[in-house]
Amino acid sequence: MIKSSYKGFAENLLLVLNVLVLFLVLFGDSVAIPVWLQPVGRMHPLILHFPIVILLLFGVLELFRFQPELRDNALYNEITTWALLSGAILAGLTALMGLFLSEEQGYDGDTVLWHKWLGVSVVFISSAIYLFRNAKWYNSKVARPAALASMLCLVVAAHYGADITHGENFVLAPVWHPDKKLVPIDKALVFRDVVEPVFQSKCNSCHNPDKTKGGLMLIDEKSVLKGGRDGKIIVPGQPQISLLLQRIHLPDGEKKHMPPSGKPQLTADEMNLLYQWIRENAEFNKKVTDLPGTDSLRQVAATFLKPAEETEEQYDFAAADDKLIKKLNNNYRVIYPVAQGSPALGVDIYNSSSYRPGVLEELSSIKKQVISLDLDKMPVKDAELKTIAKFENLRTLNLNFTDISGTTLSQLANLKYLRSLSLAGTKLEAKAVEQLTSIKSLKKVAMWNTGLPVDEIASLQKAHPGIEFITGFKDDGKPIKLNVPQVKNTSFVFTKPFPLLMSHPIKGVEIRYTEDGTDPDSMKSLLYQPGQMISGNTSIKAKAYKAGWIGSDVVQFAFYKSLYTPDSISFITAPDSRYTGDGPKTLIDKDLGGTNFTNGKWIASQKDLAVYLQFKEPVRLHTITLNCMRNFGSQVFLPVSIAIWGGTDSEHMKLLSTVKTPHPQKNDPFLIKGIDCTLGTDKAVSCLKIVASPMQKLPSWDPVKKQSGWVFMDEIFLN
């Protein structure tokens, strides 16, 4: 009797739920949901898992119900009946709550519509099965399609629900992402190819046409600029007052922190990207390569993109021995890898007074690895083209202003990978250039100031449209901006003085530089000349100038002297688990971290960053330099203070140096800086303790005010 009354109540409840669901489906647009019912609607995600599990269980059981051994099994039928009845009731409650929830602002679009109708279908199909499953005509031919239909609607409805809650294609994203393609940096737009994908992966699950939480969508330029119910989310050029940055930098536990707790969070790189983009006026149509090479936004964006297509080439030769490369580097020749981790090498030969034919022959041991050879302004003769032709993998060859006559250019015809050849400033004849056109890979020949008549060059271009014959530029009266000076030094950490190697591909350019942190000018700054030596920690800013041209952007780089390496290093206080690098040895491996602080080469903490160094033999140190980063977009500040202790052992250490950094100003640029700490003793030490303290209270102008700043360090130099 009790069971019967329970079952009767459940059946009546199921009927009522079907009526309510049907009513809201038909007349929901005309009904205003009371405020007191909104919490009920918001319980929709809380209970929806119950009907999913129970109805899926019922569906599987129903597929086997009419098996001979189960057809008359009372217990089996009782279990399936109650599973169906409870599942249908829970489905009805879930659908009802979902219909209440859909009446709130922010739930629109096709995904919500499909989720709604499939959810309602689950209620009606499961209720219909319960109503008719004991009818005489209800057999295996009906039961199995009905069970499969209910399970299919259930699974697809759940899929659309996940899309609404977690973002488009949430369920299949790990295995199916056909549109997720990295764009080459030379073709990428900052917003479309770098910023927008961050919105798509971390924000659009709540801010899309189907679910506009807070009245905000982040799907295109128009919606981003429009903002939401709380107003505009970005103020171009003013990251410190942009609501977007304030929300993403709130502590995780804060109610308004975005993305909400439990959803995929923005990485440090992504937060930095959004900061830099807004700081640089949040432009939507600017190309990444339109930004200067030293620009912080460009450097951050580059980590989200693949290199330009021409740098993606795979090589079928092994890398040359590092010791051999170091041996071949000297005061008239520099050899360097064309890209990090690449076996391909570039060779620049300079200092014409030291040049002789043997300079090229000395490179025979790395002839397979050399893909770029620069002989600009060297007294190269025709006979040496035969030696150059042995560099079988050459892609780029610069013979500008050399002494070749062009009569033996046919020697280069065997360079089957040669793409770019520069012959500017040499005296050529058209028939000599014709010898090169048999190289199928050749795409570009620079031949301005060669003495060739314009009509002969035009004839060459017409006969060989696949090759671009560069003859200079047409002077339209507008000055052209110079590209930045090139630094040819292969290492930025040294133990002995070495020559500074800078060059520029355009003849007659002056390179001016400074070592005091100021931008160089064309008159008072130091003029670069070959042979200038670097002997200590030096931060250089350089700029190219030439009469009639616009000066280049400023390029900045730093050299660090490191005389001593400790025999051991360990953490006294552990860094943040996200920024541990390769352990404490990261700080003494002489490998600079660069501008990307998530590349595994930086150590970081929001607490004191303390390390212990030990030497087997006592050393006399005068200066200790900590290489640190400043990047306000990610709350990365220089240490507010650095303290250094030293002594003969860990029990007898004294304070040797304390350094405090200037208070940060909100317009301070991105910076990687070596902070020098001069020791107050000349006594030998066997151990050191170094403590770098982060900013505990962020400045009032920082969008985040409730947490500590970060201190980032990639290297410690001991001198």
Report which secondary-structure segment, H or E, holds 433.
Answer: helix 430-434
Q: What is the pLDDT of residue 279?
A: 85
Note the pLDDT of residue 2: 39
pLDDT at 461 over 60: yes
| Mean pLDDT along residues 491-518 | 88
Collect all residues with Cβ–Cβ distance below 8 Å to 665 and sequence separation of at least 6: none
Residue 294: pLDDT over 90: no
**Cα–Cα distance, 196 to 55 (Å, whole number):** 39
Cα separation, 540 vs 520, whole angstroms: 10
Is residue 437 domain-shared with residue 408, that is, in the same domain?
yes
Q: Which of 416, 446, 470 is the last residue of a domain?
A: 470
643 CB neighbour count, 10 Å cutoff:
19
Q: Do 596 and 529 share a domain, yes or no?
A: no
- Rounded to two decimals, the pTM is 0.48
Is residue 181 a part of any domain in this protein? no
Domain co-membership, 570 together with 698? yes
Residue 177 has pLDDT above 50, yes or no: no
Token duo for residue 505: 């591909």
- Region 435-455: mean pLDDT is 81
| Co-location of 533 and 623 in the same domain | no
- For residues 17 and 24, the answer to whether their CB atoms sit within 8 Å is no
Instruction: Identify the domain containing residue 162 by its residue range.
Output: 2-166
252 compared with 608, residue with greater pLDDT: 608
Residue range 658-695, pLDDT digits in tens: 999 999 988 888 888 899 999 987 889 999 999 999 99
Nearest to 713 by CA among 632, 634, 601: 601
Q: Which two tokens stand for residue 22?
A: 């049907």
pLDDT higher than threshold 80 for residue 363: yes
**Mapped to the 3 state alphabet, what secondary structure does 133-163 carry?**
CCCCCCCHHHHHHHHHHHHHHHHHHHHHHHH
pLDDT at 241: 79
269 in a domain, yes or no?
Answer: yes
Q: Are residues 599 and 693 in the same domain?
A: yes
Whether the predicted pLDDT of 107 surpasses 70: no
pLDDT band at 174 (very low <50, low <70, confident <90, very high): very low
* Residue 399 sits in the same domain as residue 253: no
pLDDT tens sequence across 235-261: 888 887 788 888 887 776 677 778 876
Count the domains in the chain: 5
Q: Which of 229-238, 367-376, 427-436 has the lowest mean pLDDT?
A: 427-436
Using only C-alpha atoms, the chain has a radius of gyration, in whole angstroms, of: 35
**Per the structure block, which two tokens stand in for 297?**
């936004």
Answer with the residue of higher pLDDT: 137 or 169: 137
Residues 48 and 94 in one domain: yes
Q: What rounded mean pLDDT belongs to the chain?
A: 80
Answer yes or no: is 161 within a domain: yes
For residue 330, the 8-state DSSP code is B
Q: Tell me the pLDDT tens digit for each residue of 331-342.
A: 778 888 877 667
Q: Which of 30-34, 97-101, 704-708 has the lowest mean pLDDT?
A: 30-34
Position with higher pLDDT, 176 vs 374: 374
Q: Residue 110's pLDDT is what?
A: 60
Question: Is the domain of 142 the same as that of 290?
Answer: no
Task: Report the alpha-carbon angle 374-377-381, nearest 5.
Answer: 90
- CB count within 10 Å of CB 374 equals 22
Question: For residue 656, what are its two tokens?
Answer: 């040797």
Would residue 530 count as lying in a domain? yes
User: Which pLDDT value is given to residue 694?
Assistant: 94
Residue 429, C-beta contacts closer than 8 angstroms, at least 6 positions apart: 406, 452
In angstroms, the CA 479 to CA 19 distance is: 78
Give the range with max mean pLDDT: 25-29, 141-145, 383-387: 383-387
588: domain CATH number? 2.60.120.260
Q: Are residues 51 and 156 in the same domain?
A: yes
157 occurs within a structural domain: yes
> Which of 164-178, 261-275, 577-591 tops mean pLDDT?
577-591
Q: Does residue 27 sit in the same domain as residue 128?
A: yes
Give the pLDDT score at 161.
67
Q: Worst-scoring range by mean pLDDT, 224-233, 512-521, 586-595?
A: 224-233
Q: Is the pLDDT of residue 528 over 90?
A: yes
Mean predicted confidence (pLDDT) in 300-326 = 74
Q: Residue 123, SS3? A: helix
* pLDDT given at position 59: 67
Residue 114 has pLDDT above 50, yes or no: yes
| Beta partners for residue 688, in sequence order | 613, 646
Kindly state the helix (H) or strand (E) to which residue 170 belongs, with its residue range.
none
Of the ranges 420-434, 436-450, 655-669, the best mean pLDDT one = 655-669
pLDDT digits (tens, 9 = 90+) for 515-527: 988 899 988 899 9
Task: Give strand ranges (E) for 176-302.
Answer: 207-208, 211-212
Q: At what angle do helices 74-102 and 2-27 cross, to 10 degrees?
A: 30
Residue 412 has pLDDT above 80, yes or no: yes
Terminal Cα-to-Cα distance of the chain (whole angstroms): 92
Contact 535, 497 (CB under 8 A): yes
Q: What is the CATH number of the domain that holds 333?
A: 3.80.10.10
Point out the domain boundary residue: 470, 505, 528: 470
Bridge partners, 349 (sequence order): 333
Is the same domain home to 616 and 695?
A: yes
Query: Which carries the bigger pLDDT value, residue 243 or residue 712?
Result: 712
Instruction: Confirm whether 276 is domain-assigned.
Output: yes
Helices (H) and strands (E) in the chain, counts: 19, 27
Band the pLDDT of 42: cuts 50, 70, 90: low
CA distance 687 to 616: 9
- Give dist(CA 499, CA 333) in Å, integer: 12
The whole-number pLDDT of residue 106 equals 47
pLDDT above 90: percentage of residues in the chain: 20
Higher pLDDT, 716 or 305: 716
556 with 699, same domain?
no
Q: What is the pLDDT of residues 533-584, one digit of tens each?
A: 998 888 899 999 988 788 888 888 889 999 999 999 999 998 988 888 889 9
What does the pLDDT average to over 194-214? 77
